[in-house]
Structure 1
Amino acid sequence: MTSPQTIELVQLAAAAADSKSGEDLVAFDVSEPMPLVDAFLLVSARSERSVAAIADEIEDRLLEAGHKRLRREGRQESRWVLIDFGDLVVHVFHEQERAYYGLERLWNDCPTIPIELPAPVSLDGQTGGA
């Protein structure tokens, strides 16, 4: 079972991804099949530049919050960037790579972790939708 600290880490990473227009955010509790990791966060982007920007924002926010990055892979190509924070591993994909590799199919048996994103703020400072 994923710890409250890991769930908080997932929420922080998801908010960072959302702030850079990350799409299709899904978090899986992988603590049962993978004893060294509690959660995966999957995020999509439409371009390599967006993949890099989202990955950088997630890394920056989590480092600012005091979390240590153990490893980062895929920075050069920016088609699939993996950032390992120990209990949380973040996968930021170009949308084509995400469809091709289909990690959701691999982890389909794992429970999802609900992602709670901050309400959008309109130009007049009001939160919420239309």
Structure 2
Amino acid sequence: MTAAPEAREMVAIAALAAAEKGATDIVALDVSDTLVITDAFFIASADNERQVNSIIEEIEDKLRESGHKALRREGTREGRWALLDYGDLVVHVQHDDERDFYGLERLWKDCPAMEIEGIEAPSRDRANEVDPDLAGSGE
């Protein structure tokens, strides 16, 4: 099974909106074979809390314009890790520090990355990065 066409459409809209606001390391993962509650994860990074919220607002605006409304919205007050739940798509916009620490790509590394037209793949593979704090700790 692969992500539904509607989820793929939402990923494309979210990615272009995030890129427009300066998001970095934009990635989408097809989690449809692993999770029953959603088809795709969209993940992007920002340098600071204000930018996290700016990216989230732009994604929400663009998705709303195309007829999609978030079912739930979390973390926007803190601006460190904001989440938008659209059912078929879950959007994660994280401050760079949270992204490096929590490593969503490492947790979901068995899920295939989705190609996003018009968005260049990240220059580094976060799924294979090793947390320096855990390296050599036997974990």
TM-score (norm 2): 0.83
Name structure 1 gaps, 5 residues minimum: 120-130
Is 1:56 aligned with 2:79?
no
Match of 1:108 in 2: 109
Is 1:70 aligned with 2:71?
yes
Identity %: 54
Using the TM superposition, give the Cα deviation of residue 86 of structure 1 relative to its aligned residue in structure 2, in angstroms.
0.7
The ranges of structure 1 where at least 4 consecutive aligned residues each deviate by more than 6 angstroms after the TM superposition are none
CA distance in 1 between counterparts of 2:48 and 2:56 reads: 12
CA distance in 1 between counterparts of 2:77 and 2:54 reads: 13
CA distance in 1 between counterparts of 2:5 and 2:32 reads: 13
CA distance in 2 between counterparts of 1:27 and 1:118 reads: 11
Q: 1:1-130 residue pairs with structure 2 within 5 A?
A: 1-117=2-118
Count of aligned residue pairs for this structure pair? 119
Which deviations, in whole Å up to 9, do the C-alpha atoms of 1:67-116 show, x marking residues without a partner?
Answer: 02100000110000000011000000000000000000000000110011
The answer on whether the counterparts of 1:18 and 1:117 sit within 8 Å (CA) in structure 2 is: no
Using the TM superposition, give the Cα deviation of residue 117 of structure 1 relative to its aligned residue in structure 2, in angstroms.
2.0
SS at match of 2:37: coil
C-alpha root-mean-square deviation of aligned residues, in Å? Answer: 1.2
Name structure 2 gaps, 5 residues minimum: 121-139
TM-score (norm 1): 0.88
